[in-house]
């Protein structure tokens, strides 16, 4: 049986990093970095490179991992590393289990809002529609509404025209979606 115990930030917390002794910071960073790097590897293996993983990569500024060997870091660097480790380890989506729980809750919420497909189908739609090209023209609220209500046909048509080279603005895309939504409500 898998070990379901997951360390929380409390395991590494030494209080305010500005007043902590350098050796205490170094020890906390070394232990927390080891745990955080294991989480990053597990998230990568599971294919979960969004949410907390994406935040970590942004905070690491081009590095792929946190500093486990903190011996050569200055006190200022240790404080910075401590802060970004705290943010990552505290995030609910920093573990595979946490991502799975959040994803399931999102699916249940979509079902409550009217989505009637399977969880796998829902995430296929999320992957398809929450892509840069679609988000270039529609807000995440509109995309979410279209996916949960099963009204992605207008988005598909607009994206196809956009891909064909037609100049479409966010305003034009939104107006087309809103007109289609109004027509659906009237039952036309």
CA 51 from centroid of its chain's CA atoms: 2
Residue 1: predicted pLDDT = 40
CB 147 within 8 A of CB 129: yes
Model confidence, pTM: 0.77
CB 70 within 8 A of CB 26: yes
Closest CA to 34 of 2, 50, 11: 11
- From first to last of its 188 residues, the chain has per-residue pLDDT tens of 445 556 799 999 999 999 999 999 999 999 999 999 999 999 999 999 888 999 999 999 999 999 999 999 999 999 999 999 999 999 999 999 999 999 999 999 999 998 999 999 998 998 899 888 898 999 989 999 899 888 899 999 999 999 999 999 999 999 999 998 888 877 65
């Amino acid at each position: 049986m898998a070990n379901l115990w997951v360390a929380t930030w409390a395991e590494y917390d030494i209080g305010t990093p500005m007043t902590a002794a350098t050796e205490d910071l170094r020890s906390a960073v070394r232990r927390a970095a080891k745990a955080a790097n294991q989480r990053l590897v597990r998230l990568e293996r599971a294919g979960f490179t969004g949410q907390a993983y994406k935040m970590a990569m942004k905070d690491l500024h081009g590095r792929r991992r946190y500093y486990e060997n903190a011996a050569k870091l200055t006190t200022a660097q240790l404080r910075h590393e401590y802060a970004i480790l705290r943010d990552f380890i505290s995030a609910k989506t920093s573990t595979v289990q946490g991502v799975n729980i959040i994803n399931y809750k999102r699916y249940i919420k979509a079902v409550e809002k009217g989505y009637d497909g399977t969880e796998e189908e829902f995430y296929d739609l999320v992957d398809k529609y929450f892509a840069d090209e679609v988000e270039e023209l529609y807000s995440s609220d509109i995309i979410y509404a279209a996916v949960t209500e099963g009204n992605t046909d207008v988005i598909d048509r607009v994206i196809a025209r956009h891909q064909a080279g037609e100049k479409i603005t966010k305003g034009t895309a939104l107006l087309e979606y809103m007109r289609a939504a109004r027509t659906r409500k009237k039952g036309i």
